[in-house]
Structure 1
């Protein structure tokens, strides 16, 4: 049997949090569903740029192409991305995330065909809307707070959904279609939320590491527990040991990289200073196949290399859930995420319609008996969530201050 008073209290907070979160959740579900197909959307445009129309003679050496790019580009390239054949443009990239810029070079003529800046793309704007509501750091924190409260909505929703007396298929696992519009939308919300609750939690676990407060907190946990990347995963922590007059040709490094038989797309990080290294790495949907190899820029010898087995457990979890969040494991993952985004939009909209179709006397917020006291288990769960999700904890603190401040004001007036 459920505690009726606790059920009313949780239901009250479920409704309040749901109404506040609703517009943001709708935006997140739409933009998330769209961004899943970023590569599909951009592929035709990039294919036109990437394809060499006229192939004449022999291509320039990669070393020569690198020299050409350094002269013609205002920004020195950080890496070269290997192509599968010789009828594609050579790609040199610089910067990361919002500052990333990819330059397409004709390997036969040495002409720059195009320069694509990440921040200029339409999908970048979709991502910014999804991650920060186009409001910068402030927007990121709003999205993070909504994500924290979505976890609370899932937990409270499951408790409220749980049958009071006995189980039945209709209204619990199936949607009632012939018992009025309000019951239909109520069931559509509750049943959809139940069936997708685990997937929604997994998506949230993949999204939260990108946020500001939780993201920094998670990085701190990795650091103190030594469960992140190995120190020598980053090229900045590895240095060339042998010093010569000239570095080995980029063509030789590319030959070494191709011999490694890495899965996915191969990237070669380019050195700036004499102490820097060539870094061979790969981008691949499944993070289990990640590898990184640091090569001495003068001898070409491997200084250190790492793979999935060298990554700490917290970082492994982060990489897996982030890949799952983005649908990187293949078509099944992408379409499962799309289905979940549609489900999130559906359950959110149906919740609002169920609320709108109620008997419209007052706000329709469930009432809680005045003598109700929150139990130790619930308080313990709130404290645990507050420790794990700092922004949620801050919001709870503000609610408590506001609640008791309101009570004190009422007592003074009376």
Structure 2
């Protein structure tokens, strides 16, 4: 007689369990913070109307006049960034460091009144973004989020294997059986939302990982390539543009993160005002000059201007547009006003373009309200699938134990499963290390289980 085809269902269930127990809390946090950041435009208008909106007048102050008003209000402050009004009814914004705090200071561009300030790191959106990206604990949090995203892929793949119909009716597979109660109903919610949301979750995981500090940086280094000729005649530093981005603030587009920052004053005659290469910034051009350059180059409103901090630093004009085709990043010599680099959508590689589009879809910005609603539904599906999975586990777990799904019999090597794991390990190195650790832990649990005396049924 031929041997029966082995069933790897319990093995897949075991790995799905491990992945789910680790990933679910992260998925819940990422979905909740993602929803907050998703509706940033609406929430900002609701919460900060007094800071953002102004009544238009016939005459507006220059950027330098606005800068002087803010300096007068914060004489000890160090100004790092200027955001011109996005339209006639919006305020201008300065980012400055004052007394150990980073502040967003809003100013009426028509009369120069300082409208108020906002803690740049502790406002709702900044906190949501920092939690979403690095759990507000820096590099460790970034790596944990990346691990959770990688294990999320394991969760989706193993979940689809478990979901795959094996002679059952469509009920409970394609739609939940609402007539059921307790754990069976939660199981249907978990399976159905997991199936319908699988492809969307994979998209959210992969597009989100492009911003991570380890995998995202390697990905960017491979695919964010620009023609060498763009930098041939431009003196550059060892600092990358990614230094302008932080956990709470996005300045340059993803496609520009690994590009070198040019330097000002490449020739001695450019360095006026007694500046030295190692000294502080001493711009020979005004902030309004940089605004005029951005206007002349047709940079889309909504851009920021990052001020130089050293004698060789540059002004950086950058817009991370809702439609990436309007992205622009300009580096301007602080002494001469020469545009050292002007990078637009047409300069991006095809992979960088696809990634930027994916990021904007991920953030719900590409198609306006429709995109927001679609991503909201995805977040709600992630929440329902994660919470229902935890409920199922909680209801079935043995008293005092995790309730790891048992392997019912010895199995041959699951070649398909091994191939998937190897592929994931190659694509996601951090996941590879954690897979080995979990595999070792799983072997230990199996050994302990075999040595433990069988419990007698009462």
Deviations 1:283-331 (A, max 9, x none): 3112222012334445544443111122345544443333222212121
> 5+ unaligned residues in a row in structure 1: which ranges?
none
Q: 1:270 aligns with which of 285, 294, 307?
A: 307
Residue of structure 1 equivalent to 2:436: 397
Distance in 1 between the 2:415 and 2:445 partners? 24
What is aligned with 2:62? 61
Other-structure match for 2:105: 103
Query: Who is 2:364 aligned against?
Result: 327
Alignment of 1:148 with 2:187, yes or no, is no
Partner Cα distance (1:288, 1:73) in 2:
39
SS at match of 1:292: strand
1:296-311 paired onto structure 2 within 5 Å: 296-311=333-348
Q: Which residue of 2 aligns with 1:349?
A: 387
User: What does residue 261 of structure 2 align with?
Assistant: 236
Evaluate the alpha carbon distance shift between residue 310 and residue 331 of structure 1 in structure 2; reply closer, same or farther with a 3 A threshold.
same
Aligned residue number for residue 16 of structure 2: 14
When normalised by structure 1's length, the TM-score is 0.82
**Quick check: 2:6–2:411 contact (8 Å CA) kept in 1?**
no
Larger displacement relative to structure 2 (263-272 or 232-241): 232-241
**Aligned-partner Cα distance in 2 for 1:279–1:319:** 20
Select between 185-194 and 80-89 the one with higher mean Cα deviation.
Answer: 80-89
* Deviations, residues 188-230 of structure 1 (Å, cap 9, x unaligned): 211111111111011111222333432344345457x7799x7
Give the corresponding residue for 1:198. 199
Instruction: Give the stretch that moved more between structures: 280-289 or 396-405.
Output: 396-405
Aligned equivalent of 1:79: 81
CA distance in 2, matches of 1:403, 1:158: 22
- Give, in whole Å, the separation in 1 of the partners of 2:191 and 2:449: 37
Aligned CA distance change for structure 1 residues 94 and 283 (closer, same or farther; 3 Å): farther
- Once the two structures are superposed, the pairs formed by residues 37-186 of structure 1 within 5 Å of their partners are 37-52=39-54, 59-70=60-71, 72-84=74-86, 88-94=90-96, 101-107=103-109, 110-165=112-167, 168-186=169-187
State the shift of 1:16 in Å: 3.5
Asked if residue 383 in structure 1 is aligned to residue 419 in structure 2, the reply is no
Unaligned runs of 5+ in 2: 237-255, 273-282, 454-458
Distance 2:332 2:213 in 1: 34
Contact 1:213/1:390 (CA < 8 Å) preserved in 2? no
Count of residues paired in the alignment: 407
| Cα pair 2:92 2:108 within 8 Å, conserved | yes
- Give TM-score, length-normalised by structure 2: 0.75
- Separation in 2, partners of 1:7, 1:192: 20
Q: Which moved more, 1:189-198 or 1:202-211?
A: 202-211
Q: Which moved more, 1:333-342 or 1:322-331?
A: 322-331
**RMSD after superposition:** 3.8
Per-residue deviation, 1:336: 1.1
Higher mean C-alpha displacement, 284-293 vs 99-108:
99-108
When structure 1 is superposed on structure 2, of 150-159 and 130-139 the one drifting more is 130-139
Q: What is the Cα deviation at residue 398 of structure 1?
A: 1.2
Distance 1:353 1:107, change over 3 A: closer
Write out per-residue CA displacement over residues 346-367 of structure 1, whole angstroms, 9 at most, x where no aligned residue.
1222233444555979866543
Structure-2 separation of matches of 1:304 and 1:129: 33
Compared with structure 1, are the counterparts of its residues 101 and 311 closer, same or farther at alpha carbon in structure 2 (3 Å cutoff)?
A: farther
Per the TM alignment, residue 183 of structure 1 is displaced from its structure 2 partner at its CA by: 3.3
Pick from 312, 324, 340 the counterpart of residue 378 of structure 2.
Answer: 340
Distance 1:156 1:290, change over 3 A: same
Distance in 1 (CA, whole Å) between partners of 2:222 and 2:79 is 33
* Cα 1:64–1:40 shift into 2, 3 Å: same
Give how far 1:260 is off: 3.2
Q: Distance in 1 between matches of 2:426 and 2:101?
A: 33
Q: Are the counterparts in 1 of residues 264 and 334 from structure 2 also a CA contact under 8 Å?
A: no
